[in-house]
Amino acid sequence: MTETYDFLIVGGGPAGLSAAITAVRNGFSALLLEQGDRLGPFPRGEGVSHHPLFDQLLGKGFLEERSYQTNHGALFHSPGAHQQAFKPAARPIHFFEWRDFIDRLGEVATVSGAVIRTSCRVTGVVEDDRGQCIGVRYVDEAGVQQSAQGATVFGCDGHRSVVGRHYQVDHEALSCPIIKCRLAHASFDPVQTKALQFFLIGNGDLPMAPRFPPCVAYAFPLPDQKMEVGLMLRMGRAPAMVTVDRPNAGTLTAVWSELKQSYPKFRRYFEGADIEFEQPTDLPNATLWRNNVPALGAVLLGDSVGFVDPFGSSGILSSMRMAQLWTDLIAATMGQARGRSQRLWTARNLAKWRRAYVASGCYRHVRNNYLKIGMVEWVVFKHLRSADRINRRWGAIARLLALG
Ligand SMILES: Cc1cc2nc3c(=O)[nH]c(=O)nc-3n(C[C@H](O)[C@H](O)[C@H](O)COP(=O)(O)OP(=O)(O)OC[C@H]3O[C@@H](n4cnc5c(N)ncnc54)[C@H](O)[C@@H]3O)c2cc1C
């Protein structure tokens, strides 16, 4: 027998769990299906600026208690040279452990009454004969094909979203490859190195991979000589650059190894350090995908629709705000249409929700950041391109970065 819920949520990351908590707090039933054997199986972002939403969803004070806070700003390094720009942080950034954060969201969702099932991989979308999304098919823990129905289906299944793919979201165009790495015993002076470090690497600065896209290596100092380091490819302008190819996994790994061994300043962090975690993945922040309601009945939230800050540093908050907003909007209309999804999913209701979403602070924040980072990327990576030219125009670049 197919189970039916008010909200059927695919994916147990920040977006899916926020939607589940919000749905049940509004008095509706919610089933969340997660493919991993635990929620959010792989760590992704672990740094956020504080926002009241974290108190609402995690519990008051949880983030402060369980995180390391820093407001030493950010230091941008021009390619291989000594110039730097400093942008003080407006608010402290909280660094936390992904497992702590996700497990806490899972606990709040379960205690609030959401049904959560892990080891359930969603394989497809179920539609009725007028094309409305009414559920999903999934493979359960025992390997058995199942299906579930929802008056609303949320695709919260991240950067390789099955729900998004069903609705032709072009994840190739949205995605920027990224390497996430965690160091213990990292080699840095905690007194001198307090700010978040960003190293701009121009197109053509890597002789061993001359067609590598523009990218930014980063290093975030953490307590106890730990550090989060990584390499973020900036694909926003890359399709318009004839000198650039999208790298395959082999090239990405080779460039990362090279930077670890020889990129000035950056390589020092690895001397004598232990690598606790190192994984190539994707961050869907190359462009803004506007249509997050691709069909009646289905809403794409968080990374499944590329809704992250283009700086790669507020995807968690943006995903959670977006999930809360859409769940609240639909829940507010649902009272009158309970159990009748065709009355809920009218063109009129959809237009009303879309208007509210586009007017929301959450949508405007991301759209404005896309515009700002797009400008910086155009100047640095499309217009200037070489290390030499970037260094010569560093003053202007620093002023542009300060706008972000
Ligand atoms: C290296 C890296 C660093 C980052 N740094 C930051 C940062 O410092 N600050 C910040 O705010 N953001 C950061 N981000 C972005 C942030 O992590 C994401 O924007 C955020 O996790 C998006 O949440 P989500 O719930 O939409 O997707 P995800 O966190 O990706 O969760 C998706 C969930 O869906 C599940 N799933 C996938 N497919 C299926 C399926 N078929 N069936 C069932 N379940 C499925 C997955 O297992 C996963 O649990 C970073 C991302 C990366 C990769």
Our answer on whether the CB atom of 44 is closer than 6 Å to any ligand 1 atom is yes
Query: Which of these ranges, 164-178, 328-342, 360-374, has the smallest mean pLDDT?
Result: 328-342
Record: fold of 70-91+176-283: D-Amino Acid Oxidase; Chain A, domain 2 (3.30.9)
Question: Which is the closest atom of ligand 1 to the Cα of 283?
Answer: 53
**What is the C-alpha separation between 42 and 20, in angstroms, rounded?**
20
CA-closest residue to ligand 1 atom 27: 158
From the CA of 282, how far away is ligand 1's center (Å)? 9
Indicate which atom in ligand 1 lies nearest the CA of residue 121: 42
Per-domain residue ranges of the chain: 3-46+97-172+287-359, 70-91+176-283
For all residues of the chain together, what is the average pLDDT? 89
Q: CA 367 to CA 176: how far, in whole Å?
A: 18
Residue among 10, 44, 278 whose CB has most ligand 1 atoms within 8 A, to mutate: 44
User: Which atom of ligand 1 lies nearest, measured to the CA of 301?
Assistant: 26
Q: How far apart are CA 184 and CA 244, in angstroms?
A: 34
Which of 153, 159, 167, 203 shows the shortest CA–CA distance to 14? 159
Over residues 293-301, the mean pLDDT reads: 96
Residue 234 — pLDDT band, cuts 50, 70, 90? confident
99 pLDDT more than 90 = yes
The predicted-structure confidence for 133-167, as pLDDT tens digits, reads as follows 999 999 999 999 999 999 999 999 999 999 999 99
Which residue has the least CA distance to atom 3 on ligand 1? 45
Q: Which of 60-69, 175-184, 200-209 has the lowest mean pLDDT?
A: 200-209
Tokens 């965690």: give the residue: 182
Looking at the CA of residue 12, tell me the nearest atom of ligand 1.
49
Q: Looking at residue 272, what is its pLDDT?
A: 95
Q: Distance, CA 297 to ligand 1 centroid (Å)?
A: 23
Is the CB of residue 282 below 6 angstroms from any atom belonging to ligand 1? no
Q: Tell me the two tokens of residue 201.
A: 């690497």
- What's the token pair of residue 278? 């190192």
**Average pLDDT of the residues in 16-25:** 98
Whether 180 lines ligand 1, by a CB cut-off of 6 Å, is yes
Whole-model pTM? 0.94
User: Is 3-46+97-172+287-359 a domain of CATH 3.90.1150.10?
Assistant: no
Query: In this structure, what token pair is assigned to residue 375?
Result: 């400008």
What's the rounded mean pLDDT across residues 111-118? 98
